[in-house]
Amino acid sequence: MKTEENIAPFHPGRYNTLPMDEQEQLFHKALEARQKAYTPYSGFKVGAALLLDNPRDIITGCNVENASYGATVCAERNALFTAIARYGTISVARIMVVTDASPPAVPCALCLQVIQEFCPPSTPIHLASLQGIERTLTLGELLPHPFSSFS
């Protein structure tokens, strides 16, 4: 698998490093989740894996489409809602998103908006193809100006 170190857009030292075996585990969990995606309409399968702190756990999600297209749920939101349903309060250390696209797909703005409800802007989001991580950006880089009804 590709490691962050050999990917140009990733600058080593920008993020707390994750031991390679944990990074690989997160990637494989996201890949596994992706295989369960229900995508009869787009055929575009997405897997997401959240690495949680306290307790340390990995929660995954896949996209689930619907004949009423707007009822589709993305993999990232599915994973996040699953984590909240399980634990209530969560602390997300990082997020892995896997698709078969290279260059890698970026989470949609709806997902980013939902992620920012529960995660700080410093949260690393790994964007992976089937070969491994291709890019890592923070939530704040991907969504610098989230909607807030209080701003």
Q: Are strands 124-129 and 91-98 parallel, antiparallel or unpaired?
A: parallel
Shortest CA distance to 129 belongs to which of 27, 50, 43? Answer: 27
Got the DSSP string for 32-56? HHHTT-B-TTT----EEEEEEETTT
33 annotated ligand-binding residue: no
Smaller CB separation from ligand DUR, 60 or 63: 63
Minimum CB separation of residue 30 from ligand DUR in Å reads 11
Binding mask 40-79 for Zn ion (x = CB under 5 A): ----------------------------------x-----
Looking at 5, 24, 32, 76, which residue is catalytic? 76
Catalytic annotation present for 117: no
Positions marked catalytic:
76
Which residues define the annotated binding site for substrate? 63-69
